[in-house]
């Protein structure tokens, strides 16, 4: 695994972060930016990245929305330190504020603002449904013991602006449970995009966009990252064209 990835406008170092740069982060960052751009125009002043890890998605948001302020929340001290360093050495250091702490604690702060856009690549495995990995930090980052779906949506509901959008990426096999929890919290699903790594294969990831009210009929799509002969699809190329993507991340 590489210790760093170079994108067009910033470099992500990840030697001290349990969850490394991967396709999920790039998918969420690119899709969120494209989804907001294609939606009814609303000013994006404040953005929250829940579980920022290396800071990748937060930096993608800062690049996509130059007038915004981005708060990047991370519970793991080592990952938080890594994100701070990545932000510090990027052109977007004045836009991004990395905050160490849990979403649960952050929501209790009297100074917590409302956000026009919230993004998250959340923990997605429950302990009783998935084997724990030998890496304790990676295990903590991937499992819902530190942030359940219910707690995530409760936090989003408290922090999302009236016109705001919440975008997340989830493995396809748990997407229905995630969507159900969103509805229980009072949020409405506006967009759902199932993603295949290769055309013809079973979708592995699901991109979702929620809001407080229905903005338009549900947009339900299936997209492919790569064609059968191994070439990037037009959709994947459009999603990532503003960000350098190392070829190893498309596999």
Which residue from 69, 114, 119 is spatially nearest to 94, judged by alpha carbons? 69
CA-based R_g, the chain, Å: 17
Residue 164's contacts (CB-CB under 8 Å, 6 or more residues apart) are: 114, 115, 116, 117, 118, 211, 212
pLDDT tens across 14-53, in order?
A: 776 776 778 899 999 999 999 988 776 678 899 999 999 9
Mean pLDDT for 52-78 is 95
User: Would you tell me how many other CB atoms lie within 10 Å of the CB of residue 228?
Assistant: 10
Residue 80's contacts (CB-CB under 8 Å, 6 or more residues apart) are: 74, 98, 99, 100
Is the model's pLDDT at 4 over the cut of 60?
yes
CB 99 within 8 A of CB 71: yes
pLDDT tens across 140-156, in order?
A: 444 445 689 999 999 99
pLDDT of the residue at 140: 45
Question: What confidence tier does 250 reach under pLDDT thresholds 50, 70, 90?
Answer: very low
Residue 9's contacts (CB-CB under 8 Å, 6 or more residues apart) are: 63, 90, 91, 92, 243
Whether pTM > 0.85 for this model: the answer is: yes
Q: What are phi and psi of 42, to 5 degrees?
A: -140, 140
């Amino acid at each position: 695994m590489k210790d760093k990835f170079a994108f067009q406008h910033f470099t992500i170092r990840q030697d001290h972060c349990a969850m490394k740069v991967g396709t999920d982060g790039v998918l969420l960052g690119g899709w969120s930016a494209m989804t907001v751009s294609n939606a009814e125009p609303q000013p994006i002043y404040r953005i929250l990245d829940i579980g920022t890890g290396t800071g990748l998605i937060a930096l993608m948001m800062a690049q996509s929305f130059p007038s915004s302020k981005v708060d990047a929340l991370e519970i793991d001290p080592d990952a938080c330190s890594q994100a701070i360093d990545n932000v510090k050495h990027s052109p977007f250091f004045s836009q991004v504020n990395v905050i160490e702490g849990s979403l649960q604690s952050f929501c209790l702060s009297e100074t917590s603002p409302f956000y026009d856009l919230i993004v998250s690549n959340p923990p997605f495995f429950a302990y009783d449904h998935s084997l724990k990995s030998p890496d304790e930090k990676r295990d903590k980052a991937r499992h819902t013991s530190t942030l359940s779906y219910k707690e995530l949506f409760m936090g989003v509901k408290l922090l999302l602006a009236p016109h705001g959008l919440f975008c997340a990426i989830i493995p396809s096999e748990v997407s229905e449970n995630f969507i159900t929890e969103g509805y229980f919290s009072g949020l409405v699903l506006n967009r759902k995009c199932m993603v295949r790594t290769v055309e013809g294969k079973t979708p592995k990831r699901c991109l979702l966009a929620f809001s407080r009210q229905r903005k338009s009929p549900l947009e339900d799509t299936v997209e492919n990252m790569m064609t059968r002969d191994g070439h990037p699809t037009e959709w994947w190329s459009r999603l990532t064209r503003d960000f350098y993507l190392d070829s190893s991340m498309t596999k």
